Amino acid sequence: DTGVSQDPRHKITKRGQNVTFRCDPISEHNRLYWYRQTLGQGPEFLTYFQNEAQLEKSRLLSDRFSAERPKGSFSTLEIQRTEQGDSAMYLCASSGFAGVGSPLHFGNGTRLTVT
């Protein structure tokens, strides 16, 4: 168990550019989540996958955002035409089957700065 891995750790981009982040969950976990956290706030839910199926998306996830988990393993989160308001920490988490409620295991996040 190597934990949840996210890449890159930091990304600085200019407004209007596209960015893509990657998340590798704990290998035996079938649920994967994306959250966004701004300074001084708790994380906010964006979307989640069970295996390769994207089961829910938040209203926060505008049409500029897209997430995939093509083989039910790693996931990518893409932001198109970035805006300064997209600057935040993007956190990925995974959990096992939540039959009785499994704790979420978070990665160290990708900090995005849009200039």
Partner 1 sequence: KQEVTQIPAALSVPEGENLVLNCSFTDSAIYNLQWFRQDPGKGLTSLLLIQSSQREQTSGRLNASLDKSSGRSTLYIAASQPGDSATYLCAGPHGSSNTGKLIFGQGTTLQVKP
Is residue 75 involved in binding partner 1 (CB under 8 A)? Answer: no
- List, in sequence order, every residue forming a beta bridge with 24; answer none if it has no partner: 5
Q: Does 107 bind partner 1 (CB under 8 A)?
A: yes
When asked if residue 19 is in the footprint of partner 1 (CB under 8 A), the reply is no
Under the phi-then-psi rule, with left for phi > 0, alpha for psi from -120 to 50, and beta for the rest, what region is 104? Answer: beta
- Of 103, 98, 109, 110, the closest CA to residue 19 belongs to 110
Among 20, 68, 80, 106, binds partner 1 (CB under 8 A): 106
Q: Is 69 in the site for partner 1 (CB under 8 A)?
A: no
Stretch that binds partner 1, among 13-21, 71-79, 80-88, 103-111 (CB under 8 A): 103-111
Q: Is 99 in the site for partner 1 (CB under 8 A)?
A: yes
Could you tell me if 23 and 74 are in contact, meaning their C-beta atoms sit under 8 angstroms apart? yes
Write the DSSP string, 48-71.
Answer: EEETTEEEEE-TTS-TTEEEE-TT
Among 2, 27, 40, 70, binds partner 1 (CB under 8 A): 40
Q: Which residues here bind partner 1, judged by CB under 8 A?
A: 4, 6, 31, 33, 40-45, 48, 55-56, 91, 93, 95, 98-109, 111
